[in-house]
Amino acid sequence: MRFIDLIKLGARNLLRRKARTLLTVIGVIIGTISIVVMISIGIGMNESFEASVMENGSMTVIEIYANSWYEDKDGGWSEKKQELNEKTIKQISEIEHVKSITPMMYGNAQLVAKKKYTSYLNLMVMDMDCYEDFGYPALEDGTYPNKANSQDRIYYGSQMYMDFGYFNGSRYVNKDIDLNKDKIELQFMNYEPNPKKKQYTYNVENMVKIAQSESGYSMADYYAFMDIDMYKKIYEKYANTLKLSDRKKALESLNKYENIYINVDNMNNVTDVQDKLEELGYKSESQMQYIKPMQETAKMLEIILGAIGGVAMLVSAINIANTMIMSIYERTREIGIMKVLGCKVGDVKKLFLFEAGLIGFIGGSIGVGLSFIVSWLMNKYGGDIFSGLMGGGMYYGEQTAQTAMSVIPFWLPFFAAGFGILVGLVSGFFPALRATRISAIEAMKNE
């Protein structure tokens, strides 16, 4: 039997019993929609977990704190003080997969405009050669700062709060300041000024604005940045104006870092680098610590939801098998005539398998198309409910991690359509085998 004849005959046979074929196809459609939608919900949950975690930092960044809290064997929390200095930086930089590393310091400072108006400054100090590696947003002109162009510059975030003013008695008087035109000076506030010396101030040559983060939240939006070499140079001058006891503390603080940020070449290597840090005696934190349990939970949910959809597909498989068996009983005489006319046993088997597979193909294809509509409706009208169930993402100011309730990846429609065809073929296999075993003589006697 030619393939074209197989298609024509199979299609004609299905159209003979339109109502029964339609109901069987509807069963496959429901099963396909169930599988696609259930799996897409699981994937949506996984992406929601990832989005929530990623809003709080890059997936390739590891942080080490001088004062680190960790969960001990008894389930309690213990503090570990870690000395972080240049020796630590050199030691960690030699670990495999470490792409870049920078110390982090936080300056207690204020800006002074026109010798009178002050505003507190959230100052973050780092190696500016590493700025781009840690995922911070570009400057407003689209470029990224580096050590070479960061001398005599302070970079400030787009959302950083600066309120210039002065106290007139008990009343605070605000003043609008143009950071690019007005004279700006930097003053450190870590120690009490030495009354015998003039308070140190640094004349800021350039205040450069950082662009708004595209992801919705970045630490850089709310901080000012300074290169660590520039900071140390200025801070040493500041320390020399302090009282002797404070001067010693100030200079010692330059060699002790509060944090160390490590950027790993690939998120899959983060755990390995953390294990190596543990061997060296350093406690560390990364977003991977939080996302892995979430991914495992999401994967389990995907399996459970997929299994629920699979039950619907199993029912449709039984329905296909029932349809094909009924078709064999109704067409027993036709099968006998086909065999008498020389139709091969294999062709009979192919015919029934084709009919079963065609039901699976039609139902699966329509089911996939309708799944996109169901997914769209869920995302449009069920997103707020889903966000509430997932905790609404992590909250920062006015930004939250917004994710779709149902996410259909590229591979899922093809998997679902292929699975529908496979279900049809498997369901039709035993009925087709039964058809091949019908005796031509006995079939001819059948009324």
**Best CA proximity match to 62, nearest among 12, 133, 7, 11:** 133
Contact 39, 305 (CB under 8 A): yes
Rounded Cα distance, 176 and 112, in Å: 12
pLDDT in tens, 203-253: 998 899 999 877 666 788 889 999 999 999 999 999 999 988 899 999 998
Residue 250 near residue 238 (C-beta atoms within 8 A): yes
What size, in residues, is the chain?
A: 447
Contact 340, 444 (CB under 8 A): yes
Is 256 in the same domain as 316?
Answer: no
Instruction: Give the pLDDT confidence of 398-445 residue by residue, as tens digits.
Output: 444 456 788 888 999 999 899 889 988 888 888 878 777 776 666 666
Q: Which two tokens stand for residue 173?
A: 């008087």
Query: Mean pLDDT throughout 18-30?
Result: 88
Q: Does residue 259 sit in the same domain as residue 301?
A: no
Q: Are residues 278 and 299 in the same domain?
A: no
The total of structural domains in the chain comes to: 2
- One domain for residues 133 and 88: yes
Is the same domain home to 223 and 358? no
pLDDT band at 43 (very low <50, low <70, confident <90, very high): confident
Same domain, 276 and 169: yes
Query: Do 316 and 252 reside in the same domain of the chain?
Result: no
pLDDT of residue 334: 74
On average, the pLDDT of the chain sits at: 83
Convert the pLDDT of each residue in 313-337 to its tens digit: 888 888 888 888 887 777 777 777 7
135, pLDDT greater than 90: no
Residue for token pair 């200095």: 85
With 80 as the cut, is the pLDDT of residue 175 above it? yes
The answer to whether the beta carbons of residues 128 and 151 sit under 8 Å apart is no
Average pLDDT over residues 296-319: 83
Q: How far apart are CA 226 and CA 107, in angstroms?
A: 9
Whole-number pLDDT of residue 171: 77
- What global pTM score does this model have? 0.64
Q: Which of 371, 379, 376, 386 is nearest to 313 (CA)?
A: 371
Are 84 and 223 part of one and the same domain?
yes
Structure tokens at 154: 């302070």
The span from the CA of 263 to the CA of 62, in Å, is 6
Here the tokens at position 80 are 């570990």
Instruction: Check pLDDT > 60 for residue 395.
Output: no
Query: DSSP letter at 172?
Result: E
Asked if residue 192 and residue 78 are part of one domain, the reply reads yes
Identify the pLDDT of residue 202.
Answer: 92
User: What integer pLDDT is reported at residue 111 of this predicted model?
Assistant: 92
Residue with tokens 């459609």: 29
- Residue 262 CB neighbours (<10 A): 28
Identify whether residues 386 and 305 lie together within a single domain. yes
pLDDT at site 235 = 94
pLDDT in tens, 362-381: 999 999 999 999 999 888 87
Q: Which of 286, 307, 335 is the last residue of a domain?
A: 286
Picking from 251, 286, 321, the residue at the C-terminal end of a domain is 286
**Which of 266, 286, 306 is a domain's end point?**
286
- Look at 162-176, 197-211, 263-277 and tell me which has the smallest mean pLDDT: 162-176
Residue 326 CB coordination number (10 Å): 13
Domain that holds residue 441: 3-56+292-445
Q: Which two tokens stand for residue 172?
A: 């605070």
Same domain for 115 and 241: yes
Judge whether residue 391 has pLDDT over 90.
no
Rg (the chain; Cα; Å): 35
Contact 222, 397 (CB under 8 A): no
Same domain (yes/no): 322, 412: yes
